[in-house]
Amino acid sequence: MLRNVAKLLLTFAKEATKGITELIFPDFCLGCGLRGELVCDNCLKEIKPINNPCQLCGAPQEGPICYYCRDLNLSFDGARAGGLYEGILRELILALKFRGRADIGEKIWQLMVKALPSYWQIDLVLAVPPHRNSLSERVFSSSVLLGAGVSHLLSLPFHHSILRWKKEVVRQVGLGRMERFRNVRGAIEVISKEEIRDKKILIVDDVMTTGATASACAEALKRAKAKRVWVLTAARDITLK
Ligand SMILES: [Zn+2]
Ligand SMILES: [Zn+2]
């Protein structure tokens, strides 16, 4: 059942918005305007991996643990991202999330998997749960689609419905760093605890800013006896101060 959902999503990602619309509305590269695809190979190469990431939150920096992580009690064991939330990668994520362009998912999850450290020995892939009211607005959840894609590339099981928002929370956009942590603290619950006990888990999302939501997911998973929790996002937004 769970595998079927992943498969269905991936088929959808391949087929979505293709076909006749392609003939009537051809795609132009979001980076350079070249006709053909939403991103051309040259512009895709512009997305650079994050070098020397903070071992905990994955932000680019010099030492092993960054300035923010020293003060925060992050519940996950490490985070990585496909690149910074800027330029062409940001454009691709926005197209995926708000223009329903599931067909570019594959390019994004390929970048994500490249950022995974080899010492993360993952048993199971989960997605950050979509907000309760967001699924009615959109055709699919980007975190679920990316989770399905990443698990497929890694040949790992994917469960899309183990985590759930326990209560409605204000959207993080517009909130400050500490407010974001307060906002989501204790807001996520684990539905089937047996599935994650003693497991090493990878949580997938589209963008990580402070890590507050990922940390709330990790906290719930750790309380339900998950062994390790790592986070992989398409992009890392480091613009919030
Ligand atoms: Zn281009
Ligand atoms: Zn850090």
Task: Inform me whether the pLDDT recorded for 115 exceeds 90.
Answer: yes
Q: Which domains does the chain have, with CATH numbers?
A: 2-19+51-236 (3.40.50)
- Decide if 230 contacts 196 (C-beta within 8 A): no
Ligand 2: centre distance to CA 55 (Å): 7
pLDDT digits (tens, 9 = 90+) for 12-23: 776 665 555 555
Ligand 1: centre distance to CA 103 (Å): 17
- Decide if 145 contacts 227 (C-beta within 8 A): no
**What pLDDT score was predicted for residue 135?**
55
Ligand 1: centre distance to CA 120 (Å): 33
pLDDT-derived band at 62, boundaries 50, 70, 90: confident
Cα(85)–Cα(207) distance, rounded to whole angstroms?
7
What pTM value is reported for the model? 0.90
Ligand 1: centre distance to CA 170 (Å): 36
Closest by alpha carbon to 48, among 3, 114, 122, 109? Answer: 114
Residues forming a β-bridge with 203: 126, 231
Ligand 1: centre distance to CA 184 (Å): 38
The burial class, CB within 10 Å (0-12 / 13-18 / 19+), for 63 is exposed
pLDDT-derived band at 1, boundaries 50, 70, 90: very low
Cα(100)–Cα(141) distance, rounded to whole angstroms?
9
Q: Return the ligand number nearest the Cα of 62.
A: 2
pLDDT digits (tens, 9 = 90+) for 82-110: 999 999 999 999 999 888 888 999 999 99
Ligand 1: centre distance to CA 104 (Å): 14
Ligand 1: centre distance to CA 45 (Å): 9
pLDDT digits (tens, 9 = 90+) for 149-182: 999 999 999 998 899 999 888 888 889 988 999 9
Ligand 1: centre distance to CA 97 (Å): 20
Task: Inform me whether the pLDDT recorded for 78 exceeds 80.
Answer: yes
Mean pLDDT score across all residues of the chain: 89
The burial class, CB within 10 Å (0-12 / 13-18 / 19+), for 191 is middle
Half-sphere exposure of 191 (CA within 13 A, CB side): 10
Ligand 2: centre distance to CA 71 (Å): 10
Q: Return the ligand number nearest the Cα of 29.
A: 1
Closest by alpha carbon to 122, among 150, 83, 87, 84? Answer: 150
pLDDT digits (tens, 9 = 90+) for 24-46: 677 899 999 999 899 999 999 99
**What pLDDT score was predicted for residue 23?**
59
- The conformational region for residue 148 under phi > 0 = left, psi -120 to 50 = alpha, else beta, is alpha
- Decide if 182 contacts 150 (C-beta within 8 A): no
